[in-house]
Structure 1
């Protein structure tokens, strides 16, 4: 992993702020795969939160960084309050769409239209992980979570069967939702649900 600098954190905070503002301003234009998406603030928030809380990066986070994170989180809370249950349902609907799209990638692979590398690198899987964490306890997610975990395992099995007999770790051996990737990185884990307090 490359060294994270204070400027990197500032840039990610700026991206988080922009995502919150645009998601609020362009509410009527939002769609699952459009320019403006309901999940955009969370797709910026969760990786940023994980980065700022990591031991390696924590020392590089200034009080100003934490203050800005808190301010943007309050803006997100205002967006959530304004959107109410309709906004949460929109997120859940998008989660369903993204999960179906993730499954469709495997169909494309069967037709020779998508490589295993393409599936592994597609941002869909990370976005699914984010929304699963964000909507935990609000909607029935068990079937979606099981489907995603099964697709993760299928990705590893497909690569193992296409490789030249090199032994690979059992996909079931890792943490749930974190099967070994054939490309040297973990398939995105299921994130830890956040507390809506503006803290990490």
Structure 2
């Protein structure tokens, strides 16, 4: 159960869609033990609520597969909002939970414009090297697509997602594909 009073309607709808129960703010319940059963509407509370409903990663993946790209992006935007990272409201357990969610957009096999999502765990993910054309990032599923520099900063600082160096990137992912890339 999650206290929805601080959550936008969009985030509430996403959470309901994946199986979370929301305590509506219209139900004013004053009870001293309520906080023992209802998670607050912070990022840590949302993560706790999500992980309370899933018994395995496979079941979680199936639930998240029902979300469209915009919904995954909205949930990621909520969870990576800088306000949650001031004052350590996101503890180590919350950060581990957040890394497990398949809400991080990655460059995929089909096209650099298609939306494909992954968790941040396996395989290890990287931010793309600076000043690399997007078309070169096609087929590289472990490169995270971030929507802005704030998100990149949070991914780097709190989640350990490093920016891949240009030399390493070209050596490992471009030079052996030069002929293939020239054809495009």
TM-score (norm 1): 0.30
Higher helix share: 1
Higher strand share: 2
**Higher RCO by CA contacts (8 Å cutoff, separation 6 or greater):** 1
